[in-house]
Chains A and B, each alone.
Chain A
Amino acid sequence: AQKVTQAQTEISVVEKEDVTLDCVYETRDTTYYLFWYKQPPSGELVFLIRRNSFDEQNEISGRYSWNFQKSTSSFNFTITASQVVDSAVYFCALSTNGGSQGNLIFGKGTKLSVKP
């Protein structure tokens, strides 16, 4: 079975703190894609990153960084020096059908609140 688990339901931090959102996935496929999306109150899912199962390099994009570890089936997301605008629900998702077709399997999301 394919599954994504985001164990943290809600996280609250003070502005400028670093915060890590955890994601653990399950799949028997050897080829798969992992995603992170941000959902602000407006409802739209905003794409943050996509990684395929053959690329375990960590990635940094501005204040965002991602740690992909196949050995522990984890794809964690860190925001450095958090800002109030980072407040949103963050979803981790898995796809085994390719990066642009087939279905995404989402976790239940982590609600991040960044207080000034």
Chain B
Amino acid sequence: DAGVTQSPTHLIKTRGQQVTLRCSPKSGHDTVSWYQQALGQGPQFIFQYYEEEERQRGNFPDRFSGHQFPNYSSELNVNALLLGDSALYLCASSITGTAGGYTFGSGTRLTVV
């Protein structure tokens, strides 16, 4: 049973560019959350998608946007990249309405130069 799959694994972008990160949730999971983890810090919640809509959002600017597809997979888009956006981006999936908890992927390491 595949867990959460994220792509790409690593990415290098230039300031001002745009980036799209992808996440496939664990089989049977319908909810996807995205987290940003800066070096040496704990993950910070960006937003959560359920039924193809953003259900909850953390304290991140509008440059961060997302999407959830009918097959529950999700994308995270970041526009106008800043050096400070360099981080590990983690995707977590879960089943809304259950106590099953969250399953995390291995993340995408984004470096902005």
Contact = CB atoms under 8 A, between A and B. Distances in A.
Contacts of B103: 47
A99 B44 CA distance: 17
A104 B90 CA distance: 12
Contact of B42 (A42, A100, A102, A107): A107
Given A43-B106, A109-B42, A99 B99 contact: yes
Interface string B29-69: 00101010000111111001010000110100000000000
Interface residues on B, range: 20 to 34
Indicate the size class of the contact surface on chain A.
20 to 34
B90 A100 contact: no
Interface of B: 31, 33, 35, 40-45, 48, 50, 55-56, 58, 88, 90, 92, 94-107, 109
Interface of A: 4, 35, 37, 42-47, 50, 91, 93, 97-109
